[in-house]
Amino acid sequence: MPKDYYQILGVPRDASKEQIKDAYRKLALEWHPDRNKSAGAEDRFKQISEAYAVLSDGQKRSQFDQFGSDDFSRRYSQQDIFRGADFSQIFQNMGFGGPLFGDDFENLFGQMMSGGRGRARAHGEDLQMQLEVTLEEAAMGIDREIAIPRRMKCSSCNGTGSKDGKKATCSACKGVGQVKSARQMGYSSFITIMPCRQCGGEGSVIATPCAECKGSGAIKKEDAFKVKIPKGIYDGFALRIRGKGNSRAGHEGDLYIMISIAKHEFFERDIADIHMEAKIPFSIAAIGGEMEVPTLWGDVKLKIPPGTQAGKIFRLHGKGMFDLRVGGIGDEYVKIAIHVPQKLTKKQHELLEEFTREEERGGKGFFGKFFH
We report the CATH number of the domain holding residue 10 as 1.10.287.110
Q: What's the pLDDT score for residue 363?
A: 59
Parent domain of 141 = 127-259
Q: How confident is the model at residue 90 (pLDDT cuts 50, 70, 90)?
A: low
Q: What is the CA radius of gyration of the chain?
A: 32
In this predicted structure, what is the pLDDT of residue 190?
64
Q: In this structure, are 199 and 222 located in the same domain?
A: yes
Q: Give bridge partners of residue 107 from the DSSP assignment.
A: none
Strands 322-323, 328-329: pairing kind: antiparallel
Average pLDDT, the chain: 81
Same domain, 105 and 198: no
What does the pLDDT read at residue 120? Answer: 43
Q: What is the mean pLDDT of residues 147-161?
A: 88
Q: In terms of domains, do 246 and 131 share one?
A: yes
Say if residue 142 is in the same domain as residue 235.
yes
**Exposed/middle/buried for residue 249 (C-beta within 10 Å: 0-12, 13-18, 19+):** middle
Bridge partners for 30 per DSSP: none
Q: What CA–CA distance (Å, rounded) separates 21 from 54? A: 12
pLDDT band at 370 (very low <50, low <70, confident <90, very high): very low
282 and 356 together in one domain: yes
Q: What is the rounded CA–CA span in Å between residue 173 and residue 372?
A: 104
Same structural domain, 131 and 255: yes
In this predicted structure, what is the pLDDT of residue 91? Answer: 56
> How many Å apart are CA 10 and CA 32, to the nearest integer?
17
Answer whether residue 25 is part of any domain. Answer: yes
Q: Which stretch of 104-108, 162-166, 280-284 has the lowest confidence by average pLDDT?
A: 104-108
Q: Highest mean pLDDT: which of 35-44, 55-64, 352-361?
A: 55-64
Say if 372 falls within a structural domain: no
Q: Which residue has the higher pLDDT, 186 or 341?
A: 341
314 in Cβ contact with 290 (< 8 Å): no
Sequence length of the chain is: 372
DSSP 8-class letter at 88? G
213 vs 34, more confident: 213
Backbone CA torsion sign across 57, 60, 66, 70: negative
Number of structural domains in the chain: 3
Note whether 139 and 322 are within 8 A (CB): yes
249 and 280 housed in the same domain: no
- Contact of 332 with 316, CB cutoff 8 Å: yes
Q: Considering the domain boundaries, does residue 108 fall inside one?
A: yes
- Report if residue 34 sits inside a domain: yes
Kindly state whether residue 333 falls inside one of the protein's structural domains. yes
> 158 and 84 share a domain?
no
CATH code for the domain of 235: 2.10.230.10
Cα–Cα distance, 281 to 148 (Å, whole number): 50
Q: Which of 259, 282, 306 is the last residue of a domain?
A: 259
Asked if 235 and 309 sit in the same domain, the reply is no
The pLDDT-based confidence of 220 (bands split at 50, 70, 90) is very high
Contact (CB, 8 A) for 306 and 287:
yes
Do 232 and 306 share a structural domain? no
d(CA 118, CA 343): 75
Q: What is the 3-state secondary structure (H, E, C) of 328-371?
A: EECCEEEEEEEECCCCCCHHHHHHHHHHHHHHHHCCCCHHHHHC
- How many Å separate Cα 243 from the centre of its chain? 19
CA angle 133, 134, 136 (to 5 degrees): 125
**pTM given for the model:** 0.58
Most confident of 101-110, 278-287, 308-317, 338-347: 308-317
Q: Summarize the confidence of residues 95-100 as an average pLDDT.
A: 41
Pick the last residue of a domain from 64, 86, 113: 113
Rounded distance between C-alpha atoms, residue 22 and residue 207, angstroms: 55
5 confidence band (pLDDT: 50, 70, 90): very high
pLDDT mean over 5-27:
91
Q: Say which amino acid occupies 28.
A: A
Establish if 60 belongs to a structural domain.
yes
Strands 188-195 and 178-185: antiparallel
- Better pLDDT: 105 or 319: 319
Among residues 113, 142, 169, the one where a domain terminates is 113
State the greatest distance between any 2 C-alpha atoms of the chain, in Å, as a whole number.
109
Stronger pLDDT, 331 or 95, i.e. the higher one:
331
